[in-house]
């Protein structure tokens, strides 16, 4: 699997010149900023920087782009933790426990946890890539619509976990999200629920809607406070506490590992992406915890699992790009564009023909994760100013930045309008105790689940026996069903989890 | 209402320099070319043309990326003064039959040139026992409803190419719509679908690695990109032609003299050997038509697709 001659050549490429190292730090910084500002995304940063890569050699160009990718993987966690607004859809689950920690004054620890989990997971995903790039790509080819449908359904079960205080309201909020997600063109080409508004033909813009829901929910709550963190002495940014958080990450090695693996796996599946990885990892962490009622109230484990998954999805998504030359998502599509700009053809033979470059890319990403640790801490210092900012300044600022971000996403007035409409919806939901997070999960997954359901139906010709031909789908389905009924079985037979479940439902 | 307000603001901002520019010879200020997402084919074409055009006109030429049809919509509603141009794929004029568009691609736009053609190749999975389009049609007729073709979203060139194939050959193949061409290509490599219509860039590397087979190209003549590949027309489906073109427009009502000037300069750029080579390496053939030829082509193409789309009621395909 490992070609040592090519590896040495790769190292020589990487260390033989300054240029790959010069672009790494700027790339990470750009990624952190674009990840952290709500409404700006990593793909957007990569697109904007794509023309710059023309002036770099091929290796530096790819390293620059992957640095942006890496920076964004942690950047999006910063606003998620500090103000409960995910910087990108990939950090939705990070808010669930990250923000309650910040409210308790543990934002330093939470950011440290997030940074360490991101760093570790990113590095791990590239180690996996180093060892298994070809098998991963071959495995991904075996996944088709039925498998992805089940992964999507698994993500939807998270809605039940996000129910808040009332079970039905959680469910209703989730269903609302799913229904909103069906607006626009269906995969079949039918137009639904656009109310005659042309802007909705492509569906509700997900990111502005998500920001609106989270933003409103939080900002209206914040307005009653003077500061995000109420205790003045807790507002300081402290390197000691960030590092303590970073160290704490390793108290949950299993969660860290599982989150990273889920992320790398989901990342490799085309068209799914880090937001699903982030949600699934969180939901798995919560589901398997013996004391799941602590999740959602500022449990470090939630932050670790969620942040590990969204960062490791980067390595996963590189697998199909490198091994097959097929991009699975927006960011890798832009990288393939950079390939073309340097007259390099991506494809199944890319790895065989460019082994040293592939090794150099992988090694540079290992270095990037270490560099991210340093730059990330500096960045936390800057971002930490958020908790020291009085709410009367903070709220309007976030509002303004969000509106600009939404305009940037859609390129027209539809973004800001969507944001405002969803701000109102989110505010009312919050007021009547409907969990907005459930709506966001529904909205993010609706497209995936519906599209895959339709494709499964078409590929199978409507014959359920088709599923029997797909062993991976059957295994996934069995696992899904088991994970749903396990608490019931466990309770019936008095196993460990059962008592927790009883406590969980008893309240 | 906010759109109108925005339009007014836009108008106000363009008005001040606009009045002074009227007295000066064209071009007196920077020109912008609207294109879709960065990295997309038309963006690549726009970015290739822009620097040369700037040099020839003596004014900066800026490529402005806006997602989807918004790029064309902005140009359609811009001042017809030659300072706002748009470049987009042929789907602009075919989409009018599929969805309500915020602009009329014939009435609101003045064509300048068809810049490039990205030939669509018909790729199949190697496990399918076919070597020619004729074999494929025979196989599909023997197994109606069993073969799937992958496409990206409704109304894209690869979807329409499949639809035309279905209509002209009379076979029953099932469309599986994916989110993008990448996913459709992946599904073909994995043999989830048995055929796709795709660009050279999407499929040829896979063909070289033996993961896909190419049966033909959808153009009227063999492609420079792969001269050994027959046209679909000669390989078993006479008269078949489907393409993915890029077209450049100015807003309707742009003075004749400006269109002529732009057309002259742009055609010179497109016909340069350097440009042709660069396009070819990116999987694009240079077309470079005059405004008249472009208008005539669009008219004929619209007539062809209107018939097919109305007949098949595509949106529920």
Mutate to test the interface with A, among B145, B176, B191 (most CBs of A within 10 A): B176
Mean pLDDT across A227-248 = 82
CB–CB contacts below 8 A, A to B: 115
Contact (CB<8Å) A347/B206: yes
Residues in chain A closer than 8 A to B175 (CB atoms): 458
With residue B62 as reference, give the H or E element that holds it.
Answer: strand B61-65
Residues in chain B closer than 8 A to A347 (CB atoms): 205-206, 208-209
* Choice among A73-77, A380-384, B307-311 with the minimum mean pLDDT: B307-311
Cβ count within 10 A of residue B224: 14
Residues in chain A closer than 8 A to B39 (CB atoms): 47, 50, 333-334, 337
ipTM for the predicted complex comes to 0.72
Cβ atoms of residues A453 and A447 within 8 Å = no
In chain B, the largest separation of any two C-alpha atoms, in whole Å, equals 69
Nearest chain B residue (CA) to A345: B205
**Facing residue for A334 by CB, picked from B39, B100, B185:** B39
**Facing residue for B205 by CB, picked from A328, A333, A349:** A349
Contact (CB<8Å) A324/B186: yes
Contacts of A431 (CB under 8 A, 6+ apart): none
Summary mean pLDDT of chain B = 85
What is the reported pLDDT for A163?
65
* Choice among A48-57, A303-312, B84-93 with the minimum mean pLDDT: A48-57
Residues in chain A closer than 8 A to B317 (CB atoms): 188-189
Rounded to 5 degrees, what are φ and ψ at B114?
-85, 110
Same fold: B25-117+244-309 with B121-243: yes
pLDDT tens-place string over residues B26-64? 889 999 999 887 667 888 899 889 999 999 999 999 888
Nearest chain B residue (CA) to A351: B209
Residues in chain B closer than 8 A to A413 (CB atoms): 2-3, 6
pLDDT tens-place string over residues A281-304? 998 888 888 887 888 888 999 999
Nearest chain A residue (CA) to B202: A326
Q: How many residues would you count in chain A?
A: 507
3 state DSSP class of A458:
helix
pLDDT band for A435, please (50, 70, 90 cuts): confident
Architecture category of domain B121-243 in CATH: 3-Layer(aba) Sandwich (3.40)
Contact (CB<8Å) A47/B281: no
Handedness of CA A341, A345, A351, A354 (dihedral sign): negative
DSSP state of B119: P
What is the reported pLDDT for A505?
40
Q: Which fold has domain B25-117+244-309?
A: D-Maltodextrin-Binding Protein; domain 2 (3.40.190)
**Facing residue for A455 by CB, picked from B2, B176, B206:** B176
Residue A413 in this model has a pLDDT that exceeds 50? yes
Residues in chain B closer than 8 A to A51 (CB atoms): 38, 47
Cβ atoms of residues A137 and A324 within 8 Å = yes
Cβ atoms of residues A10 and A29 within 8 Å = no
Contacts of A68 (CB under 8 A, 6+ apart): A27, A28, A30, A31, A34, A42, A45, A46, A49
pLDDT tens-place string over residues B111-122? 999 999 988 999
**Facing residue for B153 by CB, picked from A185, A346, A455:** A185
- Rounded to a whole number of angstroms, the distance from the CA of A255 to the nearest CA of chain B is 31
What is the reported pLDDT for B131?
92
Domain regions of chain B by residue span: 25-117+244-309, 121-243
Between vectors from CA A294 to CA A293 and to CA A299, what angle results, nearest 5°? 150
């Amino acid at each position: 699997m490992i070609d040592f001659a090519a590896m040495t050549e790769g190292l020589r490429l990487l260390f033989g010149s300054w240029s790959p190292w010069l672009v790494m730090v700027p790339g990470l910084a750009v990624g952190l900023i674009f990840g952290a500002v709500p409404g700006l995304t990593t793909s957007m940063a990569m697109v904007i920087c794509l023309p710059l890569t023309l002036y770099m050699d091929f290796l530096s160009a790819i390293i620059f782009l992957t640095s942006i990718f890496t920076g964004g993987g942690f950047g999006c966690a910063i606003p998620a933790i500090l103000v409960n607004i995910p910087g990108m859809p990939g950090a939705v689950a990070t808010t669930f426990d990250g923000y309650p920690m910040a409210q308790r004054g543990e934002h330093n620890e939470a950011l440290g946890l997030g940074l360490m989990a991101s760093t570790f997971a990113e590095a791990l995903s590239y180690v996996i890539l180093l060892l298994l790039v070809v098998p991963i790509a071959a495995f991904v080819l075996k996944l088709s619509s039925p498998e992805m449908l089940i992964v999507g359904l698994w993500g939807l079960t998270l809605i039940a976990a996000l129910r808040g205080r009332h079970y039905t309201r959680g469910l209703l909020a989730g269903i609302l999200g799913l229904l909103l997600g069906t607006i626009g063109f269906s995969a079949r080409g039918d137009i639904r629920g656009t109310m005659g508004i042309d802007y909705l033909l492509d569906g509700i813009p997900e990111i502005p809607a998500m920001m609106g829901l989270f933003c409103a929910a939080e900002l209206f709550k914040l307005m009653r406070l003077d500061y995000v963190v109420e205790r003045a002495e807790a507002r300081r940014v402290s390197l000691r506490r960030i590092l303590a958080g970073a160290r704490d990450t390793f108290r949950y090695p299993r969660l860290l590992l599982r989150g990273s693996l889920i992320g790398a796996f989901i990342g490799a599946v085309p068209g799914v992406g880090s937001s699903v990885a982030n949600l699934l990892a969180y939901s798995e962490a919560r589901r398997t915890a013996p004391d799941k009622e602590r999740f959602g109230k500022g449990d470090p484990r939630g932050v670790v699992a969620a942040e590990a998954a969204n960062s490791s999805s980067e390595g996963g998504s590189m697998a199909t790009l490198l091994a097959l030359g097929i991009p699975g998502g927006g960011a890798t599509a832009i990288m393939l564009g950079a390939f073309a700009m340097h007259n390099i053809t991506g494809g199944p033979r890319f790895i065989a023909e460019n082994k040293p470059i592939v090794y150099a890319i992988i090694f540079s990403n290992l270095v990037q994760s270490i560099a991210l640790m340093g730059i990330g801490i500096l960045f936390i210092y800057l971002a930490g100013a958020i908790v020291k900012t009085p709410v009367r300044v903070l709220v309007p600022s976030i509002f303004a930045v969000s509106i600009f971000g939404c305009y940037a996403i859609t390129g027209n007035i539809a973004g800001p309008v969507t944001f405002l409409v969803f701000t109102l919806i989110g505010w009312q939901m919050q007021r009547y105790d409907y969990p907005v997070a459930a709506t966001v999960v529904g909205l993010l997954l609706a497209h995936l689940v519906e599209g895959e359901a339709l494709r499964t139906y078409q590929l199978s010709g409507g014959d359920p026996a088709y599923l029997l031909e797909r062993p991976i789908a059957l295994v996934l389905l069995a696992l899904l069903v088991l994970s749903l009924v396990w608490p019931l079985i466990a309770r019936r037979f008095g196993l460990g989890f059962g008592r927790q479940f009883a406590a969980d439902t008893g309240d | 209402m906010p759109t109108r307000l925005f339009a007014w603001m836009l108008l106000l901002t363009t008005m001040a320099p606009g009045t002074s520019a009227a007295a000066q010879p064209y071009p007196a200020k920077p020109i912008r070319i609207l294109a879709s997402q960065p990295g997309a084919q038309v963006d690549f074409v726009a970015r290739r043309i822009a620097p040369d055009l700037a040099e020839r006109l003596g004014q900066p030429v800026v490529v402005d990326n806006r997602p989807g049809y918004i790029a064309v919509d902005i140009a359609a509603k811009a001042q017809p003064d030659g300072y706002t141009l748009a470049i987009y794929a042929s789907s602009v004029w075919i989409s009018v039959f599929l969805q309500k568009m915020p602009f009329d691609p014939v009435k609101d736009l003045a064509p300048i040139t068809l810049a490039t053609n990205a030939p669509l190749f018909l790729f199949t999975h190697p496990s399918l026992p076919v070597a020619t389009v004729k074999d494929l049609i025979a196989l599909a007729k023997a197994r109606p409803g069993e073969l799937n073709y992958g496409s990206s979203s409704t109304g894209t060139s690869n979807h329409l190419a499949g639809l035309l194939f279905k209509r002209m050959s009379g076979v029953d193949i099932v469309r599986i719509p994916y989110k993008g061409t990448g996913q459709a290509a992946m599904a073909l490599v994995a043999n989830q679908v048995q055929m796709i219509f795709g660009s050279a860039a999407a499929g040829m590397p896979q063909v070289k690695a033996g993961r896909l087979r190419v049966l033909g190209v959808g153009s009227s003549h063999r492609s420079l990109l792969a001269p050994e590949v027959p046209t679909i027309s000669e390989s078993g489906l006479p008269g078949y032609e489907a393409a993915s073109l890029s077209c450049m427009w100015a807003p309707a009502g742009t003075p004749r003299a400006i269109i002529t000037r732009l057309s002259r300069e742009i055609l010179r750029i497109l016909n340069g050997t350097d440009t042709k080579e660069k396009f070819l390496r990116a999987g694009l053939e240079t077309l470079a038509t005059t405004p008249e030829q472009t208008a005539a082509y669009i008219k004929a193409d619209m007539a062809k697709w209107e018939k097919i789309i109305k007949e098949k009621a595509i949106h529920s395909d």
